[in-house]
Chain A
Amino acid sequence: MSMNLPLDGNNAIAQLEGEMNILKNLLVKSLVLTSLVLTSLVVVAPQGSAADPKLNAACSKAGAKGQAGDVAFVCTKVGNKLVWKKAKNAAAAKPAAAAVKPSGTLNIAHWDFLAPKYGAEMQAVIKSYEKYNPNAKIETVGIVRAVYETKMKIQLSAKGGPDLFTIPDTFYPELARSNLLEPLDNVFSEATKKTMNESNKGGIWRGKQLAITWQVAPYAFFWNKDILEKAGVKPPTTAAELVAAAKTIKEKTGVTGFAVRSRLAEETPWWIDFNNWVVGFNGGWSDGEKLTIDSPQNIAAVTAYKAVYDSGGFSVGDDASTFRSKFGQGLVGMMIDATGALPAMIGEKVPSKSVGASKLPFPGKSTSQVGILFGINANSKNKALAKDFLNWFLIKDTQQAISEMIGNTSTVATETIVPAAFLLENPWAAAYKENGKSTRSSVPDGFESSTSEIRKEVLTQIEQVLLGKMTPAEALKKAQDNLS
């Protein structure tokens, strides 16, 4: 294709459009041809392999076995017809069903595969699917969290990427809108669907289930009991007490009083963290129909945030890895962070029993959440295998193993049990479990696909508040006006 610069605007545009039309024609022709070839292949293929068995649906060979989700079927003669019936002994049917399970290699990506504390264990749990389906091979792909979205975007835009991958809930709308996720509506049996908890609704996009829950991590307010005792302060329960406590800790002990994210360099995680203040003050970014950025509740939230930022006890300028390291070293008094972060900070210097936790010291009950979904790449060449994997992923034992591995305090796709011994050893866990009952996503309801635009604008204005260049009311009004 020639690449003339449009020196003479209209002619050049017309020429380029003409060339685009030729390309489009060629593309359409090849697509039609490909469709014809694929259609003929489907027609030629044995019908039994075209779809998963359904109860009372016709089958072709008596005694044939099949599996849909975790339900095993046997092709049974009823009158003159051959139909699928549930196998009488599902447990016994499983090994037989394994023989007809799809085969191949599945690539599965998640940043937590690199987690220092449990990454290797998580990979081992995921790979244990190979025992359930001996025809499958699992390859885990760990990608650093900071570049996860970028790497996934690059791979997916080139029609590549892993077969299955975890999806931050803030990234999910962009993928869903671009049709890059395989619909999952017919993947699970009714029995499996009944085990899936409410959190899986986060994976529904315009009526279609495109992903399921991997983990929903709630936030909690927690503190180093030894530091608070040394400073002579009680765990705060209001925003005003938080400001006073942060200041006192700094003055009396010399360590940082309170730490949360505050830098635009960590834009996405700061947005999720900051949502704690918004939902904690009973605010929100939208009411489902219009943006509510400059609502009185949000202004109160930013005002409280600014007050603690200016308290003299705030971790000014620290990124999360820095203030988390400091907490682990016993150099930070109080924090608000997600459940996955705290176990990594606990160690010799700050043992689990030295950590106290509660609801956020704000008027409302809710906390933000780190929502992680799990879906199938629409470009995957192993969709049948990937769907089988998801069915295995939702089995009770798999979910319990995942839940325990990530610290017991997150919500996973189905209900799980927190071992009593764990709660005894980790007293802070109860607060997370309680907070998990009322988490709210940082994705603005009704404006899901504009999340990144809203995030950038709002945080840019909040940065101005932190720099003392605007009041919270002015900043949020400006953000509201710029986005409206």
Chain B
Amino acid sequence: MPYFFVGAATIYLILFTSIPLLRGFWFSFTDSLLLAPTEGKFVGFENYRRYLTDQSFYSSLWTTIVYTFVVVVGAVSLGVISAIAINEKLPGRAIFRSMLTVPWAVPGVSVVLIYNWIYNYDSGVANQAVRALGMGQKGWLIDPSLGMFSVAFASIWKVFPFIMLVVLAALQSVPEELREASKVDGADRFSAFKTVVIPHLMPTIRVASLLMTIWSIRRFEIIYLLTGGGPSGATNTIVINVYKQAFESSELGRAAALGILGLLLSLSVTIVYFAVDRKNAKRDSL
């Protein structure tokens, strides 16, 4: 019976994940072109060698790491603060909850349209705001020094409600008797939060951060549609590079190799997470 229950999921995973992954792995050792995928010749590690000796790959890798770091830190901070705020009994709480959840429900393409207008050089809200502050006009999507900030800001706006909802659920499961006990022990509001609530939230925040990290490493639509990897390569993450290699340059073999390198990055994050988690579990059991 257990085999029956896991069977469907296993078949699904084999068909739609394992086989394409293995095929992609094979392509990464060939010089296949997108329009003739079966006619590629085996080239060994040539595709990997070209990337690992190319400075632009490391630039793209660094961009991916910076983008991921900024988005994860931003989204988790904003999500946790928002969750704590809307967990309080305040007037209009339901309205605030709904409003803060909206960005998560907005499709990525719509987010891009909204932010294209916000960042518009001549008439966008962002430039109207900085003009009002006497800071002139900023090229949010055309200035390489602002490109990463602009894209990361739009991404954080889109994804922070996920963290907020998850943390809110965790907050509401903090046992009331623990809070009461800390009060009886003389803890003030901040101490109770630090010693009771935060430890209770940490496992949830860790898992949510891991998911957010993996999603950020592989995020495509917001970045590609806002900047296409520009300006001047400022937002050219590995995923954007994979897309360009595969669908603009039609270099399927090279794109597959880059995809595998991106996969290794995601895997390394997951391995680090589980290593830390295991260490924490051991420490807690002592």
Contact = CB atoms under 8 A, between A and B. Distances in A.
A42 B225 CA distance: 51
A153 B229 CA distance: 21
Given A20-B42, A319-B116, A464-B232, A452 B36 contact: no
Nearest to A1: B26
Interface string A439-466: 0000000000000110010000001101
Contact of B34 (A13, A20, A157, A319): A157
B247 A150 contact: yes
Could you tell me the dominant secondary structure of chain A's interface residues? Answer: helix
B115 interface: no
B116 A467 contact: no
Contacts of B224: 265
A3 B26 contact: yes
Contacts of A16: 42
Interface stretch (B139-147, B155-163, B190-198): B139-147
B22 A453 contact: no
Interface in A231-266: 256, 263-266
Contacts of B36: 157, 178
B250 interface: yes
B190 to A, nearest CB: 45
A187 B44 CA distance: 44
Contacts of A404: none
A317 B248 contact: no
A267 B228 contact: yes
B42 A3 contact: no
Contacts of B143: 467
A260 to B, nearest CB: 14
A156 interface: yes
Contacts of A20: 42
B33 interface: yes
A157 B39 CA distance: 11
B34 to A, nearest CB: 5
Contacts of B29: 6
Q: How large is the interface on B (under 10, 10 to 19, 20 to 34, 35 or more residues)?
A: 35 or more
A174 interface: yes
User: Which residue of A153, A157, A317, A318 has the most chain B CB atoms within 10 A of its CB atom?
Assistant: A317
B250 A317 contact: no
User: Which residue of A153, A266, A267 has the most chain B CB atoms within 10 A of its CB atom?
Assistant: A153
Given A264-B231, A267-B228, A3 B22 contact: yes
A315 B122 contact: yes
Nearest to A459: B230
Interface in B22-39: 22, 25-26, 29, 33-37
Nearest to A23: B38
Contacts, number: 89
Interface string B107-127: 000000000110111100000
Interface in B19-64: 22, 25-26, 29, 33-37, 42, 44-45
A355 B139 CA distance: 30
A163 B45 CA distance: 38
Nearest to B137: A316
A155 B156 CA distance: 34
A317 B247 contact: no
Given A157-B34, A265-B228, A316 B44 contact: no
Interface in A425-484: 452-453, 456, 463-464, 466-467, 469
A262 to B, nearest CB: 8
Nearest to A250: B122
Contacts of A322: 116-117, 120
Interface string B225-237: 1111111100000
A16 B284 CA distance: 49
A180 interface: yes
Contact of B228 (A175, A264, A466): A264
A153 B121 CA distance: 34
A9 interface: yes
A316 B232 contact: no
A316 B121 contact: yes
Interface in A308-348: 315-319, 322
Contacts of A180: 35
User: Which residue of B26, B29, B139, B226 has the most chain A CB atoms within 10 A of its CB atom?
Assistant: B29
A393 to B, nearest CB: 25
Nearest to A27: B38
Given A153-B34, A180-B35, A452-B248, A263 B120 contact: no
B268 interface: no
Given A3-B26, A150-B247, A153-B35, A9 B227 contact: no
B86 to A, nearest CB: 35
B17 interface: no
B44 A6 contact: yes
B249 interface: yes
Contacts of B247: 149-150, 153-154
A453 B225 CA distance: 21
A264 B122 contact: no
Given A13-B42, A149-B247, A322-B116, 14 more contacts: A13-B44, A17-B42, A20-B42, A175-B35, A263-B142, A263-B230, A265-B228, A267-B248, A316-B121, A316-B122, A317-B120, A317-B142, A456-B248, A463-B232
Interface of A: 3, 6, 9, 13, 16-17, 20, 149-150, 153-154, 156-157, 174-175, 178, 180, 256, 263-267, 315-319, 322, 452-453, 456, 463-464, 466-467, 469
12 contacts: A3-B25, A149-B247, A150-B247, A154-B247, A178-B36, A263-B141, A267-B248, A315-B121, A318-B120, A452-B250, A453-B249, A467-B231
Give the 4 A-B CB pairs with smallest separation, nearest first. A265-B228, A317-B121, A178-B35, A150-B247
Interface of B: 22, 25-26, 29, 33-37, 42, 44-45, 116-117, 119-122, 139-144, 224-232, 247-250
